[in-house]
């Protein structure tokens, strides 16, 4: 029997919608046009790997207007203003949601943030096609997210290789030991452990602690989602994580820059130079 939309997980529905959107957009903007834009107009890619593997608490601050589980998170959403605040507060990199239907994002948000930011920017989306990687690079993204749960082994390898050819080392997201093994087998180097299960949106910080020991030392380990305090970051850093992706907590804050400062263990008045 065919699976109905009700029986599908949120993740399945997002990916289905994304594939339909890509099919339309590829007809409007062929891959060859994106490749020309990358060659002629795209700024050089910034080194995302270096940014998130420094000593200390490296935060990837996420710009996100809405989510399927919470609806609108931030009413006043200006990617350029947020990028400026979060960079000034000490973010190592930025992540910008570009998925339209479920997260109210757009590639225009990434372009707006890129005009202001001097730190690397990750395209956060549901990437399932090489066309999206070319689109990301043409828009000025320095890296992009890959989600192991929605990609075959061959697709993972293909997208990793394409990213590296464009000097965009991807952030590859896992939620289980099985997914981690697949990503390591495909050659992933920046491993994001998502504490939020994208199939039901439940959050368990223990997911990071359970998987970090299996991540090789020569990989960059990133803990994602459910991080709420400076102590969370200190605990996960001690466990072996190099960087931390934080979105909701920052986007809910009246002053996202000050909220990031608290995560980094600084007072409200102390800023990153």
Q: Which residues are catalytic?
A: 62, 64, 124, 173, 194, 224-225
Tokens of 265: 């263990």
The answer to whether the CB of 52 falls within 8 A of the CB of 190 is yes
Interatomic CA distance for residues 124 and 201, integer angstroms: 17
Helix count and strand count (H, E) for the chain: 12, 10
The answer to whether the CB of 53 falls within 8 A of the CB of 242 is yes
Q: Measuring CA to CA, which residue among 74, 127, 123 is closest to residue 96? A: 123
Interatomic CA distance for residues 84 and 101, integer angstroms: 26
Interatomic CA distance for residues 207 and 187, integer angstroms: 21
Which residues have C-beta within 8 Å of that of residue 225, sequence separation ≥ 6? Answer: 194, 195, 196, 203, 245, 247, 248
**Phi-psi group of 18: left, alpha or beta (phi > 0 → left; psi -120 to 50 → alpha; rest → beta):** alpha
Tokens of 19: 């594939």
């Amino acid at each position: 029997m065919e699976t109905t939309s009700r029986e599908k997980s949120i993740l399945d529905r997002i990916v289905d919608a994304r594939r339909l959107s890509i099919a339309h957009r590829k007809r409007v903007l062929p891959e060859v046009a994106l490749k020309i834009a990358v060659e002629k107009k795209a700024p050089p890619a910034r080194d995302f790997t270096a940014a998130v593997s420094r000593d200390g608490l490296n935060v990837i601050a996420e710009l996100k207007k809405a989510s399927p589980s919470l609806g609108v998170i931030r009413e006043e959403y200006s990617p350029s203003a947020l990028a400026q605040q979060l960079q000034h507060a000490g973010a190592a990199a930025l992540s910008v949601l570009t998925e339209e239907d479920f997260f109210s994002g757009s590639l225009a948000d990434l372009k707006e943030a890129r005009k202001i930011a001097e730190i690397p920017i990750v395209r956060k989306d549901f990437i399932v096609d090489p066309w999206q990687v070319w689109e990301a690079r043409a828009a000025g993204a320095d890296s992009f997210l890959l989600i192991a749960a929605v990609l075959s082994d061959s697709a993972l390898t293909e997208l990793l290789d394409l990213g590296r050819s464009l000097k965009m080392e991807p952030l590859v997201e896992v939620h289980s030991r099985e997914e981690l093994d697949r990503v390591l087998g495909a050659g992933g180097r920046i491993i994001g452990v998502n504490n939020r299960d994208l199939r039901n949106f439940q959050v368990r910080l223990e997911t990071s602690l359970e998987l970090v020991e299996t991540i090789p030392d020569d990989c960059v380990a990133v803990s994602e989602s459910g991080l709420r305090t400076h102590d969370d970051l200190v605990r996960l850093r001690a466990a072996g994580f190099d960087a931390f992706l934080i979105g909701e907590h920052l986007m809910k804050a009246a002053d996202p820059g000050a909220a990031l400062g608290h995560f980094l263990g600084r007072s409200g008045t102390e800023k990153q130079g």
